[in-house]
Chains A and B, each alone.
Chain A
Amino acid sequence: MSELKGREQEQAEPSWSPLEDARVDRRDFLKLAGFFVGASALSACSRGAVNKAIPQIVGPEELVPGKALWYATTCGGCSAGCGALVKARDGRPVKLEGNPEHPLSRGGLCPIGQAAVLELYDSKRLLSPLLRGAASSWQAVDAEVAGALRRARSGAAVRVLTGTIHSPSTRRAIARLLEGLPDAKHVAYDALSACAIRDAHALSHGRRALPRYRFEKARSIVSLDADFLGTWISPVEYAAGWRAGRVPLGNPARMSYHLQLESRMSLTGANADRRIVIPAGSEALIAAHLADHLARRAGVRSPYSSLPKPPLPAAELASIAGRLWAERGEALVVSGANDLAAQLAVNHANELLGAYGKTVNLRGASQQRLGDDVAAAELLEELEAGKVALLIVQGCNPAAELPAPGGSWERILSRVGLVVAVSSHLDETASKAAAVCPEPHFLEAWSDAEPTVGIAAVAQPAVRPAGSTRPFVESLAAWAGRPQKALDQLRSIWRQRLGPAGFEEAWAKVVHDGWHASTPEKGAGAFNESAASSLQPASLPDGDGFRLVLYPKAAMLEGRHAQNPWLQELPDPVTKVVWDNYAALSPAAAKSLGVETGELVRVSVGGQTLELPTLVQPGQHDRAVCVALGYGRAGTERFHDFAPRWISGKPTVAKGERVGRNASGQLRFESGRLVYSGLLATVEKAGGRRPLACAQEYHSLALPTRLAEKPGESRDIVRETTLAEYRKSPKAGNPGAHSAASLWPKSLREGNRRWAMAVDLNLCTGCSACVIACQAENNIPAVGKDEVGRRRDLQWLRIDRYYAESEEGVSVLHQPMLCQQCGNAPCESVCPVVAISGSEDGLNQQTYNRCVGTRYCANNCPYKVRRFNWFEYRKAGAAENLALNPDVTIRSRGVMEKCSFCVQRIQEAKIEAKSRGETLKDGQIRPACQQSCPTQAIVFGDAHDRASEVAGRMADPRRYRVLEELHVDPAVGYLTKVRNRDKA
């Protein structure tokens, strides 16, 4: 201490200072210096960033900066081939929407299609070819393939393995490559196969075809484990058809009847009028019994001699058959089982019901699933035997989707002379291939599609391709020795379709419209009864072991889009879990195993073991264990750094780990076909936990028990009734609001217009297309698993799922919940900085630049629809930022946000109408959620305009408003769900 003091004294007497005379001591000098340096540094940053404005060199005629252009295209998200419109702003696609004029999808677009625009800007997409793991050129890859093809001319085997290809130009290009080669074959498979349906029709109708199902013509639908509203073959098309009969109309009111028999709880089951839980793998037996009952009703000989006992009461089966029979000609039986016996029995039932040519069309058949499991299984054997010299893989990822013979894809692919993977990512197959040929995104290239025979479509590029990718058709043409641009190939094949006379006009129209319909050739084959009933369904094996059900999730399907964070974060429509797959067990099964949600279980099938967290799923068969496919995919390790980093933040996946676990190792080929359901499995508690992030256990509108006036009192947020009750009174199930006194004098929204929305719960299937549509339109970031677990998801529109238990079993209700744009908005009155205000046309305006982030509004919102930006979610310089919609502000950290009714679309439509001197017409403004809804469950418009569609729905006796008793005057109305049942 003393030493220190001494030093200070020594320093306090500087005798050398040059500033001594100015009486500025050292400290003052330092202060002065500090001030000046600081001030000059500060003043140097007084101006904001200098922005550059860079005009085009030569402006294209139709492109006006700041104005969106829309192009028709075909969605390439899956093989359903829905019609899409792409919005391009300043040459950059930012949004995909359904094409309302498309004959199949009719304006809807599923979550995968909506999210595809993000994949265009995927920073991990391959942009140039790879040869043996190293960056290469197209010439080098082509030389390598040419060498292999030369060997093939002298007899070596060439195999092209693809997913379903219904593009006429690609099919022709493959045929041209393979023609003249002595041992060459194109094998297509589907990871989610419908092969049994085609095989069954080959036997029963003499045509290997997948029929086009016309749900719009069906008054009575029986689905045996076909998730046709969620994931089965062409869900948007089917949902658009299903919608036709779902609104009770007429006097007495009529609706279609939809019965779902299934072992797991699917989205389609959740929407059914009646749902019967059956053991997994019993579809064939039930279908055969149904055909048997129908044959008896029809008075014809039963196709089956003796059937094993069905897993449900005979009286039940008889009543189902009776219901179908009563509406024969307008009835439809479908089954999702990839089991020949089941599909033959279904064909038999449909034939007896007179469904062919009406609800089941073999004329204009579907080409959305062309995979042939038998051929794929044969190819696997050939690969294992080392017989293949050249394998070209495109549009599929067999190493992640199919069980390898012997268990190792590494081993069997090493026996192939040359493996060429045409892929956009270094996925499981591409990483084992010698050559990787990246394809452009479907928004970057010309392509065509023919999803059903006669309905063909063209997809046009909306942006110049990034990097040096090459369309598959161009690669094929180059390898065949006849290089030709994709557009030229397309035009030459379309010249045949449209005819040479007036081709240019016709072609321009097809490109403009996005599709072209022609009369499908050939009628359906005649029904061959003996062939149809040649396969007797096996009886159910005894014992009460678990049956494994491998199923696709609505957002993930077979896993092709596993690297898309929007889709990973889309809550599953039924379980609401994000960023994971899991073993779903019924409450009783979970109890018997002593596990709860999140605890790990070990699921084993024939030596293949999988450790997954449990999810307790009501309404599922007690002996079923259901695991989603499409997870555990290569590349999902990237999500380790996805979530915002902060002191308690956890990564979405541990370093080097993948999102979920890949269950495709549990798939089996049985008599050449992939079996997804009914495999005997053992399930045991594994110990340990992997927490699941579920987006339903919060944002709850339910009344906390301690606040309930009566014990067990619940608020009727979702309302449902039965058709029988509805016929008695159209207000059934919808008792009207409490009439308690209101604190509010009257609605503050007395303006000239009132923007309003009405959601028909009868039509809403919960498919979640609207959620992703909203996310894409409004620049909503995905936040990662940990943040969702902390209730900090940002989706403006969520779909609440409610379970109701009755004697009919568990029923599920879905309710889209978004900002209700209240007239007397409780959020407005608590904002200390007036960042929320009411507009003259009834909108509740969130003004981001004024918000200081107190979050009082979120606390005071009875609907829990406000979202807070806890972090800055966009990463500077990330390519993914290019998917942002320039018409919507990007919110920064600390700002509250919520649904705006797509105010940017309202403003745009108003300004456009004004500049044309017109008044807005009803239906001109369509928010993103309404636009993409496959069933048109959402209607938006001016509630004060009596002629508007939304006003019509608001006047419906089914209409109610959520928590109306709070007198907040919401602008969103819901229409009570009516199920076609006799009793609740």
Chain B
Amino acid sequence: MNGPVDYKARSLTVALAAAIVLSVGLLARSAMEINWLGNDEGYAPKQPLAFSHRLHAGEMSIPCLYCHSGAERSKTAGIPPLNVCMNCHAKVSSSFLAVRAEAAAAEKEKRRPRLVVSEELRKLYDALGVDPEGRPIPGKAPTPIRWTRVHNLPDFVVFDHRPHLGAGLACQTCHGPVETMEIMRQSASLSMGWCVNCHRATKVEAPLLNWPRKAPQGAQHASVDCKACHY
């Protein structure tokens, strides 16, 4: 070694080396969730409340439209307001197993069973500002639950649920096997090609197309006009 040690250059080297290590780490982490442009297939973000579609739509067989009633009446299917949850959860505050375990424990200890409230449902009651029986807690302001939206379309696309329901499509056609999903996941690519292929291939009965005269015989494919979705 000749000459004095260049501390400046050395510290720079160390900093850059550290940056490389950090970058490799970051890259490796984000590589797992890279989504190529315009395609969010498989997107399953963590939600603020661990709502299970498998339990509700699968095990309990609650119809999709019970909660997402907007699909019949509006463009958007909508996320149910919390009072819809309370239709059941004013009575059901935890799983059946937890209730039975508490009942057994209470019998053993010779006391009245306590109300069991699951951790996730506690979030629902907190959001509504009510106790598990649905009674408002004085002084507690309701705060809405901020769900992370799973199915996103670009702002220049207009998607309307009504005609799709009207044409007899099952929700699962676009949303996948929701009744099996513990965490809600985007199952189709929702790309334009995916939409158009279905519009070309799927035939619906002519009256649904609302043609006033010389109504075409038999089934017709759905509109592939640009303005069917873009305006």
Contacts and interface: CB of A to CB of B under 8 A. Distances in A.
A50 B45 contact: yes
A244 B76 CA distance: 43
Given A39-B23, A50-B45, A66-B75, A920 B155 contact: no
Contacts of B148: 50-53
A18 B9 CA distance: 11
A466 interface: no
Given A55-B82, A849-B154, A36 B214 contact: no
Contacts of B127: 57
- With most chain A CB atoms within 10 A of its CB, the pick from B27, B213, B227 is B227
Contacts of B6: 16
A978 B210 CA distance: 38
Contacts of A849: 154, 156-157, 230
Interface string A464-495: 00000000000000000000000000000000
B84 interface: yes
B30 A57 contact: no
Interface stretch (B31-39, B55-63, B91-99, B106-114): B31-39
Contact of B74 (A66, A839, A841): A66
Interface string B17-48: 00110111011001101111000100001000
Contact of B212 (A850, A914, A945): A945
B78 A55 contact: yes
Interface in A55-77: 55-59, 64-67
Contacts of A57: 81-83, 127-128, 142-144
Interface stretch (A329-337, A370-378, A904-912): A904-912
B156 A40 contact: no
Contacts of B35: 46-47
Contact of B230 (A14, A44, A53, A845): A845
A889 B155 contact: yes
Nearest to A906: B227
A227 B151 CA distance: 54
B145 A36 contact: no
A36 B19 contact: yes
A917 B162 CA distance: 12
A837 interface: yes
Given A59-B81, A67-B74, A845-B227, A54 B145 contact: yes
A101 to B, nearest CB: 25
B88 interface: no
A64 B34 CA distance: 35
B225 A52 contact: no
Contact of B152 (A43, A48, A839, A911): A48
Contact of A839 (B33, B69, B227): B227
A890 interface: yes
Given A52-B146, A889-B230, A942 B81 contact: no
A40 B26 contact: yes
Contacts of A912: 162
Contacts of B146: 52-54
A17 B16 CA distance: 13
Given A44-B26, A752-B214, A840-B225, A55 B81 contact: yes
A496 interface: no
A212 to B, nearest CB: 42
Contacts of B128: 57-58
Interface string A849-865: 11000000000000000
Interface in B174-228: 207-208, 210-214, 223, 225-228
A914 B213 contact: no
A284 to B, nearest CB: 55
Interface stretch (A27-35, A113-121, A444-452, A969-977): A27-35
Interface in B85-143: 127-128, 142-143
Contacts of B157: 849
Contact of B30 (A43, A837, A839, A888): A43
Size bracket of the B interface? 35 or more
A752 B155 contact: no
A944 interface: yes
B231 A904 contact: yes
A806 to B, nearest CB: 44
B98 to A, nearest CB: 26
A67 B81 contact: no
B210 A910 contact: yes
Contact of A911 (B149, B163, B212): B163
Interface string A617-633: 00000000000000000
Contacts of A65: 70, 74, 76, 78
A897 to B, nearest CB: 11
Contacts of B72: 915
B162 A911 contact: yes
A320 interface: no
Given A29-B16, A46-B35, A65-B76, A752 B227 contact: no
Contacts of B142: 57-58
A751 B130 CA distance: 58
Contacts of B81: 55-59
B13 interface: yes
Given A55-B82, A845-B225, A911-B163, A36 B147 contact: no
A326 interface: no
B27 A40 contact: yes
Contacts of A29: 13, 16
Interface string A892-936: 000000001001100100111111010110000000000000000
A12 interface: no
Given A33-B19, A66-B75, A944-B213, A58 B83 contact: yes
Contact of A64 (B1, B13, B27, B70): B70
A47 B70 contact: no
Given A43-B26, A46-B30, A64-B73, A847 B80 contact: no
B156 A56 contact: no
Contacts of B152: 48, 51
A752 B212 contact: yes
A30 B17 CA distance: 10
12 contacts: A36-B19, A37-B23, A40-B27, A40-B30, A50-B149, A53-B149, A58-B128, A752-B213, A907-B158, A910-B210, A915-B162, A915-B163
Given A37-B19, A944-B213, 4 more contacts: A50-B45, A51-B152, A903-B231, A907-B160
Interface of B: 1-3, 5-6, 9-10, 13, 16, 19-20, 22-24, 26-27, 30-31, 33-36, 40, 45, 69-70, 72-76, 78-84, 127-128, 142-149, 152, 154-158, 160, 162-163, 166, 207-208, 210-214, 223, 225-228, 230-231
Top 3 nearest A-B pairs (CB, nearest first) are: A59-B81, A36-B23, A66-B76
